Amino acid sequence: MGIYNVTGIVMAESDSQTDSGLENDRKRHKVLVIEDDEFILDIVSECLEAEGFEVRQAPHGQAGLALAHQIHPDLIICDVSMPYLNGYEVLKKLRENCLIAATPFIFLTAKADRPDIRKGMVLGADDYLTKPFTQDELLEAVKAQLNKFEIFRQSFSPAHNSELGSNDQQVFELKNALENSEFELFYQPQIDLASGSLIGAEALLRWNSPTKGYISPAQFIPVAEETGFILELGQWVLTEVCHQFKTWQSQGLQPLRVAVNLSSLQFEDPNLEGYITRLLQEADIAPQYLEVELTESLLVKDVESTVQRLSQLRAMAITVAIDDFGTGYASLGYLQHFPFDILKLDRCFISDVDRNSSNAAIVSAVIKMAHDLGLKVIAEGVETESERHFLREHGCDAMQGYLASRPLSVEDFGQFRRQIRS
C-alpha cells in the first residue's frame, strides 16, 4: 500500500474512513506544517492537501512561529529538531500568545525517545508522530486533534466562534459598529534609537464594542478582508487619521508622521490615490506625514503592478513601509525591486535578539542590507532594554514596542507627546 518511503513518511492511498462533521468543513481547516526537511514538508503537505485541507508551510521554527501569528492556523504539525527555533521553543512561544495558545499541536519526532516525547507533552503538545509514519497515521492524528479542538472552541471560546458567528453575521456587526462609531484608533509611538525622540506613530484599529469591550484587530480584520468590508473600514481609518492631523494642528502641536496599515484590497483599489489626495488636501497636511504600511504578501502577487503602485504613492511624497518583514514570502533579495522607504522588522526577530544568536544574525544582516538599499529600519515589538541596546548598537534607526509605549488612546497619546517634549 505504501507509495513513497523516503526519509520518514510512508505514503499510502488513504483507506481511512471519512468521519464526523469534519469532512464537510475540511476546506476551512488551515494546517501549518513546520519542517526543515523539504521532502517531508512537501509530502506531508501533499497528503493533507489531497484530503482538502488548506496547508501552509514553514521551513524552520522561526518562520513557522511568525506564520502562526499571522494566519492563526487550526492545527500545527511541527518537527522537533530544526535550525533557528527548534520545535520545543516554537511550542513554548506559541503557548505564550493568548490568541493562538490553544492551537492543537502535533510533534514530528525522528525517534520515539521517551524523554523527548515527555518534554513535548509537558510543554503542551497534543500528540506526536514518530517518523516514519503512514498516511493513515498522519490523517488520524490530524482529525482527532481537529475534532477535539472543534468541541473545545464550541464549548469554551465564544469570543472566537459562536459569539462572532458566520462571516455574514460578523460583517453585519462590523457595519453596525462603524455606523455606531464603535471603532477607535490607538497610536503607538515610534522612537528614534539614536536620539530617543518621537519620530512618528502607527495608527492601530480597535473595536470598542459596548457588549464585548475592546476587540483586537486580529479578530476582525481577516473577516473584513475576506468580505471586502476592509475598503470601507480602511477609508474610515485614513479619514480619521487626517482628522487627527487637523486636531493636533489646532492644538498647536507639530505635525507628526502617522503610519496606517493598508490591506491588499485597499492597495489594489483604483481610487486609492484619489481619496488619499483629497483627504490630505482637506486636512491641509503635507503628504510626507502620511505613511502607509504594506505586508509582504503583496510583493508576490504581480510584481510589475505593485512596483507601479508603490512608485505612484512615493511620487505623491507619501512614505511607504514594508510591515512585518521576514514573516512572509519576501527574501532580502526582493527588496531591491520595490521602492520602499522603511522596513519594519517583525517582532519575532526582535524577541530576545540580544541573547538569541540566530535572531541577532538575521537582524544585523537585514539592517545592513536595508541601509545599503537606502531604507530606514524600524524594529517592531521591542520589549526590553537589552533588545533596545542591541538594536542601537547595530545601527537600527527606530523602534516601536511596549518598552517605549503600548498603543495609546488619542488622549493618552497626547499626554505622551507632552511628556516627551518636556
Give the up-direction half-sphere exposure of residue 360: CA atoms within 13 A in the CB hemisphere. 14
Task: Select the binding partner of residue 141 from Mg ion, ligand C2E, none (C-beta < 5 to 8 A, by kind).
Answer: none
Smallest gap from Cβ 382 to ligand C2E, in A, equals 6
For the segment 364-383, give every residue that binds Mg ion (CB under 5 A). 380
306 binds, among ligand C2E, Mg ion, none (CB under 5 to 8 A by kind): none
In angstroms, give the least distance from the CB of 1 to ligand C2E. 45
The vertex-307 CA angle with 302 and 308, nearest 5°, equals 100
**Phi and psi, residue 256, nearest 5°:** -135, 140
Candidate ranges 38-46, 101-109, 136-144, 378-386; the one touching ligand C2E (CB under 6 A):
378-386
Footprint on residues 275-304 left by Mg ion (CB under 5 A): 293
- Least separation in angstroms between residue 233's CB and ligand C2E is 7
Residue with cell string 532580502: 332
Residue 417 CA to residue 415 CA, distance in Å, equals 5
User: Which lies closer to Mg ion via its Cβ, residue 36 or residue 323?
Assistant: 323
Burial of 334 from C-beta contacts in 10 A (0-12 / 13-18 / 19+): middle
Residue from 45, 103, 261, 359 in contact with Mg ion (CB under 5 A): 261
Candidate residues 36, 51, 323, 387; the one interacting with ligand C2E per rule CB under 6 A = 323
Residue closest to 188 by CA, chosen among 415, 406, 383, 419:
406
Under rule CB under 6 A, residue 402 binds ligand C2E: yes
In order of 53, 56, 255, the CA distances from 30 in angstroms are 6, 7, 43
Nearer to ligand C2E, 79 or 380 (CB): 380
Whose Cβ is closer to ligand C2E: residue 135's or residue 263's? 263
Pick from 61, 64, 120, 381: which binds ligand C2E (CB under 6 A)? 381
CB-wise, 148 or 406, nearer to ligand C2E? 406
Stretch touching ligand C2E by CB under 6 A, among 77-85, 280-288, 370-378, 396-404:
396-404
Q: Which amino acid is at 297?
A: S
CA distance 82 to 92: 15
Q: Which of residues 219 and 358 has its CB atom nearest to ligand C2E in the complex?
A: 219
Q: Is 263 in the site for Mg ion (CB under 5 A)?
A: no
| Touching ligand C2E, residues 141-180 (CB under 6 A) | none
Which residue's CB is nearer to ligand C2E, number 221 or number 396? Answer: 221
DSSP 33-91: EE-S-HHHHHHHHHHHHHTT-EEEEESSHHHHHHHHHHH--SEEEEESS-SSS-HHHHH
User: Quick one: CA dihedral 8, 12, 18, 21, positive or negative?
Assistant: positive
Residue 37 carries which side chain, given as an amino acid letter? D
In the window 199-218, what residues touch Mg ion (CB under 5 A)? none
Minimum distance from CB of 186 to ligand C2E (Å)? 7
Interacting stretch for Mg ion, rule CB under 5 A, among 31-39, 169-177, 256-264, 360-368? Answer: 256-264
Q: Grid cell 493533507 — which residue?
A: 48
Write out the three cell numbers for 245: 492631523
d(C-alpha 294, C-alpha 260), whole Å:
9
Q: Considering only residues 292-321, where is the footprint of ligand C2E by CB under 6 A?
A: 293
Of 214-273, which residues contact ligand C2E (CB under 6 A)? 216-218, 221, 230, 234, 237, 261, 263
At residue 160's C-alpha, the angle toward residues 222 and 170, to 5°, is 55
Residue ranges that bind ligand C2E, judged by CB under 6 A: 188, 204-205, 216-218, 221, 230, 234, 237, 261, 263, 293, 323-324, 347, 380-383, 400-402, 407
